[in-house]
Amino acid sequence: MDYKVSVITPSYNSEKYISKTLESVQAQTYKNWELIIVDDCSGDDTVSIVQELMKNEDRIQLYSNSSNSGAAVSRNNALRHANGRWIAFLDSDDLWAEDKIEKQVALMKAKNAAFVYCAYDSVNENNEQVKGKIKIKERVSYKDQLTKTYICTPASIYDRNVIGDVEMPLRRTGQDYAFWMVLLKKTDAYGIDEALVHVRRRSGSLSKNKIQNLKDIWEVQTINERINKVAASWHL
C-alpha cells in the first residue's frame, strides 16, 4: 500500500528558492504526499509565493510561527500537523530528484526498514553543481553516526508507525544531527547510494561553518547523548 508521505519544510526568507523547491515535490513520481510548510516570520515574499502556489495545489499546507524560533521549532510545529505514515524533510532551498520518494519507499518495503536515506550532491545559488555525490554506507547504525555524519536532512525518510511520534531537540544549530541520534537508537538507517537530493550551499549559511558543525556534534554527544568527554573527543 502506498501510504501518505508528510514532507516537513521550515521556511525563512526563502523567496529566491522556494518555488523550485516546491516544484521538485510536485514533480515526484510518488503522488501520495502532503507538504507542510511552517514559516519562521520571513521578512520577504516567501509566504505570498507559497500562498500563490497553494491556489492550484491542495496538498500544500502553510502555517506560521508567532515569533522567529529557528528550524527545530518550525519542524516540530509541522510534525504536529502531519497526517502521513512516512515523514520526510526538505529545507526550503533544497531540491529533490523526481523519483526520490518512490525509490526510498521501495527500499523501505524491500528491507522492511523504518528509516532510510540517500546520497546527495551540492549546488550553489545558481543551481550549478559545486560538489559531487557524497558516498554513503548501505546501512548506518548509531555507532557509525558517532564518528561520521552520514545522514543529510533532506535525504531522510522514516516510518512513524515504527519510530513513533518524535520531535527534534530544540537547538538553534545541530538539531538535525541530534535528531538522527534519537532515531538511530531505535533502528538502523538504510541508504541509497544515489544523489536523489541536491543540497543548496548558500554563502553565509549556518551549515557552511565547519567549526560550528564540530561544536554542535560535541554538544549533542556530551549533552544530549551524555557520552563522556573522552569518548566524545575520540569520536570528534
pTM surpassing 0.75? Answer: yes
As given in the structure block, the three cell numbers for residue 34 are 502532503
Distance CA 89, CA 204 (A): 22
pLDDT tens digits along 97-128: 999 999 999 999 999 999 999 999 988 877 76
pLDDT tens digits along 129-141: 777 788 889 999 9
| 86 contacts 108 by C-beta, under 8 angstroms | yes
| 197 contacts 103 by C-beta, under 8 angstroms | no
pLDDT tens digits along 191-206: 999 999 998 876 655 4
* Chain mean pLDDT for the chain: 91
Distance CA 133, CA 210 (A): 19
SS3 category, 148: coil
| 168 contacts 176 by C-beta, under 8 angstroms | yes
Residue 41 or residue 208, greater confidence: 41
Predicted pLDDT of residue 202 = 67
Residue 213 or residue 16, greater confidence: 16
**Residue showing cell 545541530:** 174
Angle, CA of 143, 147 and 151, to the nearest 5°: 80
**Residue showing cell 492550484:** 56
Which pLDDT band, with edges at 50, 70 and 90, does 186 fall under?
A: very high
